[in-house]
Amino acid sequence: MIKILAIETSCDETAISLLEAEGDLKGEPKFKVIENLISSQIEMHRPFGGVVPNIAKREHIKNLPILLNSLQTKNLKLETVDLIAVTVGPGLEPALWAGINFAEDLAKKHNIPLIGVNHLEGHIYSFLLSQNSINHKLKTINYPAIALLVSGGHTILIKMDSLTKWKKIGETQDDAVGEAFDKVARILDLPYPGGPEIERIAKNSKLKTENYIDFPRPMIHQKNYNFSFSGLKTAVLYYLRDNPKINKADVAASFQKAAIDVLTKKTFRAVEEFNAKSVILAGGVAANYALRENLQNKADENNINFLCPEFEFNTDNASMIGASAYINYLSLKNKKPKKQNMENNVIGKYKMEANSNLNL
C-alpha cells in the first residue's frame, strides 16, 4: 500500500487529496480516499461568465497552502507520503503552474518522488475511486471497453483494451459538450457553470419527449466517432431569436436531449463495431443524470456493464489525479522510463514523467 498526496489546479477548482492505493495492474488497483478537499472558485469567476486564467492562478496560490494546512491538522503527516501527484495538463497554463510549482517545492523540501498526471487520464480513472473503502466491489470492467470523456474542454471517445492500453477513436471537431452546455446556459441567461443549470431547469419542462424542439444532432449519422456541438449551440441561439417568448425549460430540455442523443448514438456505434463489453463515462458532464441514465439503459439493453464515477468524482478533483498517478507509477515500474511527449502537457522545462497513455 502506498500513500499519495495529489494536487489538481488545471481550471477553477483548487483540489488536494490524500489517498491510499494498493494492487497491481494484473488485478484491479484499489483506492481509499482519505481526504478529497476542493476549494471552488466558481463565485469568483461567475461575474465574468467563465474562468479567468489569472484570477484562477491567484486563487490557487492562495488556497493551496490553506488546503494543505487543513490536511495537516487532520490526517496528513508529510513524512508518511510515498508519492506526490500533480496535474501537468491539459488546462489553463497559469493555473497549472500554480499547482506544479507548489508540488515541486513540497517534493523537494520533503524528498518525496513527484509524478506528473494528465488531467484527462485522471477523469477516465475516476470510476475506480470510492470514498473510504479499499475493498469496495467495483463493477467489473470487461474489455474492450469504450470510454466517453465529456468535460468543459473535451469530448473524446476512447477504446480501451486494458487499464493502460487504449486508443482515441474520435473527438469533437469544435466545441466540447460541456462548453456547449455552458454557452447555451449563457444564451438562456443562466449563471456559470451552465451544465448543472441546464439540467436543473430542463426538469421543469412539461413537454413530452416527442414534442421537444427539433434541434439538430450534428454528425449523428456519420460513420466516425467525431462530434460537433457548435452548430447545435447556434441553432439554440437562432431559435430563441425567432421565438423570444418560448419557455426556457423547454429549450433546455430539448437541447440537453439533442446533445445526449448524439453522445449515446456514437458511443454505442463504437460498442457495436468493437464488440465492447463495457462503457465508461467520465468528466464533468458525467454528472448529468439524464446522460448517465440514457447510457445505463442502453448498456442494459446491450447486456454490457456501464461504469461511471461516484457523483463527487465527476467534476474536477485531486483524487482522480492520485489514482492516475498510481496507475502510471505501476506501469513505469514495469518498463524503462521513456521520454514523454509533453506537447499537450504544456510543460517545456519540466521533466516529470507525465505518462500519458492517451497520447493527446
Q: Which residues bind ligand KG4 (CB under 6 A)?
A: 11, 151-153, 178-179, 181-182, 193-196, 199, 283-285, 287-288, 315-316
Q: Could you tell me the sign of the dihedral formed by the alpha carbons of 100, 103, 108, 111, in that order?
A: negative
Sheet holding 278-282, edge to edge: 166-171, 155-160, 145-150, 278-282, 305-307
Q: Which does 59 bind (CB under 5 to 8 A by kind): ligand KG4, Zn ion, none?
A: none
What are the backbone dihedrals phi and psi of residue 73, each rounded to the nearest 5 degrees, phi first? Answer: -75, -15
Q: What cell does 134 get?
A: 479499499
**Helix, strand, coil abundance in the chain, percent, nearest 5:** 45, 20, 35
Stretch that binds Zn ion, among 97-105, 142-150, 315-323, 340-348 (CB under 5 A): 315-323
Binding map of Zn ion across residues 141-170, x = CB under 5 A, - = no contact:
----------x-------------------
Q: Which does 23 bind (CB under 5 to 8 A by kind): Zn ion, ligand KG4, none?
A: none
Give min distance, CB of 216 to Zn ion, in A.
Answer: 27
Nearer to Zn ion, 179 or 316 (CB): 316
Nearer to ligand KG4, 81 or 150 (CB): 150
Give min distance, CB of 233 to Zn ion, in A.
Answer: 20
Q: What cell does 282 get?
A: 467520465
How far is it, in rounded angstroms, from Cα 211 to Cα 303?
30
How far is it, in rounded angstroms, from Cα 136 to Cα 324?
18
For the chain, how far is it from start to end, CA to CA, in angstroms? Answer: 30
Nearer to Zn ion, 316 or 353 (CB): 316
Give min distance, CB of 14 to ligand KG4, in A.
Answer: 13
Query: Partners of 160 in the beta sheet?
Result: 145, 166
Nearer to ligand KG4, 11 or 114 (CB): 11
Please choose, from the candidates 156, 229, 242, the residue with its C-alpha nearest in 3D space to the C-alpha of residue 198.
229
Q: Which does 7 bind (CB under 5 to 8 A by kind): Zn ion, ligand KG4, none?
A: none
Nearer to ligand KG4, 90 or 218 (CB): 90
Question: Is 118 an interacting residue with respect to Zn ion (CB under 5 A)?
Answer: no
SS3 105: helix
Question: Is 316 an interacting residue with respect to Zn ion (CB under 5 A)?
Answer: yes
Q: Which residues bind Zn ion (CB under 5 A)?
A: 151, 316
